[in-house]
Structure 1
């Protein structure tokens, strides 16, 4: 199988899984191992295609991100998502990720850890679905600062490889009494700054692995991840309220089994 076709497949995998609560990291490791695409070059490729997924959210929510620059809405009685919500949703995970980045990459980034976090994340999602109180928030413009910070605390779990950023933040949103769509949308918005920081740092450290001859490979993966992520994010918001998180949790358990069989054993 040619590397260009592998790039296309992995771009699809990244685009499908980055914003679904199923762990894009776990899927990329599993599929990469099945396709024999591993090593430093593969690690750098994963960084590049994550940038494609991030660009999709920036495009989809471009006007919303621009509106955050309107500081006149901060603290006003009228309900409106503002930059303070984003900061509160980002700071906890940003601090944890900054302090533990090297430890996470060098120690926790292992197949066994991914299996554990796939299962743990699934359990959290089922718990959030079963135990959340009646929703009081049905729009991201109705989120309180306390809810934003609560979701930010849950995003700290996403620094663990395989836990899933969207899975942890949406679970936190449900437990903070925000409905599924609101939790998912806020998850998308607070994911972008965190991913830019983490992926940017990884990109800088991986630059010496980049070669001009690899440009077509990276371009295919980047563009594919961008296009697929746009469609998946939109579709996910439409169906999440109907199907809930539990179905994704049980899927995570299945992936954990496959991961154990094909990667660890």
Structure 2
């Protein structure tokens, strides 16, 4: 196999990994860092690749929710109160990470984009998920029943949206998981699990589009023709895999908790920690 073929196979593999993990609460960025390190796919260009291929995952979720997205846009333009409130909530949730990202993203990448950090945040995030799910158990449900619960996207308040947006800022540290932070943050704020998951998907659209476009603009000069071909391969594979995963996640959370993902995070974090310690 030629070096070019091997490079494109790596790009395809990472694209599949991105599409599968982006909307699961297990950290797509953390997985890309870990497996990119494992297959020797590390460079400034690779960091741009990891961000830009997220566009494939985002386009997949935009396609799946296209009818609700069109409804939101048309309703907002027509000043429909329900849709205006939903758009406002998305903007409120988007702003904290946008501000923190613009101010500190270079420092965050320099300090935290390392397998050791990913191992720690995977484990910590897993235990937090277990704790939150325990609070939502049948035994705890009676105590929470008196609290107002947002069971649809339209019932989410601006305060709950802000709580989700603040939680999303934590996901700038790899291994935390953007979807995991926003879903758990939403559940803690009083949003029903499935609705928190849907809101997380909608919030991913402006957040990840902004991150991908900003990174592409800032680092376009680094990318060669070979890099652009690899991005195209990763983009397509991420798009196709995300199409399958998003529907599966929504079906899963309507009947199950997130405990299985919490234990997966803890197990993977321990394995990575042991591997780094022995290396």
- State TM-score, norm by structure 1: 0.90
Q: Aligned partners of 1:137 and 1:113: how far apart in 2?
A: 34
Give yes or no for contact 1:50–1:222 (8 Å, CA) kept in 2.
Answer: yes
Give yes or no for contact 2:51–2:211 (8 Å, CA) kept in 1.
Answer: no
Q: Aligned partners of 1:242 and 1:81: how far apart in 2?
A: 29
Q: Aligned partners of 1:211 and 1:119: how far apart in 2?
A: 37
Following superposition of structure 1 onto structure 2, how do residues 188-199 of structure 1 map, counting pairs within 5 Å? 188-199=201-212
Segments of 5+ residues of structure 2 without an aligned counterpart are: 137-143
Matched, 1:52 2:56: yes
What is the SS of the residue equivalent to 1:159?
coil
Partner of 2:141: none
Change (3 A) 1:3 1:263: farther
Partner of 1:183: 196
Q: Aligned partners of 2:9 and 2:158: how far apart in 1?
A: 45
Give yes or no for contact 1:137–1:179 (8 Å, CA) kept in 2.
Answer: yes
Matched, 1:214 2:227: yes
Following superposition of structure 1 onto structure 2, how do residues 48-197 of structure 1 map, counting pairs within 5 Å? 48-69=52-73, 70-71=75-76, 72-74=79-81, 82-132=86-136, 133-134=144-145, 136-197=149-210
Q: Aligned partners of 1:213 and 1:23: how far apart in 2?
A: 27
Give yes or no for contact 2:56–2:235 (8 Å, CA) kept in 1.
Answer: yes
Work out which of the residue numbers 240, 244, 247 in structure 2 matches 1:227.
240
Give yes or no for contact 2:52–2:213 (8 Å, CA) kept in 1.
Answer: no
Q: Superposition RMSD on alpha carbons, in Å?
A: 2.1
Give yes or no for contact 1:114–1:161 (8 Å, CA) kept in 2.
Answer: yes
Give yes or no for contact 2:29–2:175 (8 Å, CA) kept in 1.
Answer: yes
Matched, 1:200 2:213: yes
Give yes or no for contact 2:170–2:181 (8 Å, CA) kept in 1.
Answer: yes
What are the superposed Cα offsets for residues 64-119 of structure 1, whole Å, 9 maximum, x if unpaired? 22333323223x6xx98621111121122222222211111122222222222212
Partner of 1:15: 19
Q: Aligned partners of 1:15 and 1:151: how far apart in 2?
A: 23
Give yes or no for contact 1:81–1:140 (8 Å, CA) kept in 2.
Answer: no
Change (3 A) 1:232 1:49: same
Q: Aligned partners of 1:179 and 1:80: how far apart in 2?
A: 21
What is the SS of the residue equivalent to 2:254?
helix
What are the superposed Cα offsets for residues 219-260 of structure 1, whole Å, 9 maximum, x if unpaired? 211100001011101110100232211211110111212322
Change (3 A) 1:50 1:262: farther
Q: Aligned partners of 1:246 and 1:80: how far apart in 2?
A: 35
Q: Per-residue deviation at 1:170?
A: 0.7
What is the SS of the residue equivalent to 1:178?
coil
Partner of 1:241: 254
- State TM-score, norm by structure 2: 0.86
Partner of 1:5: 9
Give yes or no for contact 1:91–1:152 (8 Å, CA) kept in 2.
Answer: yes
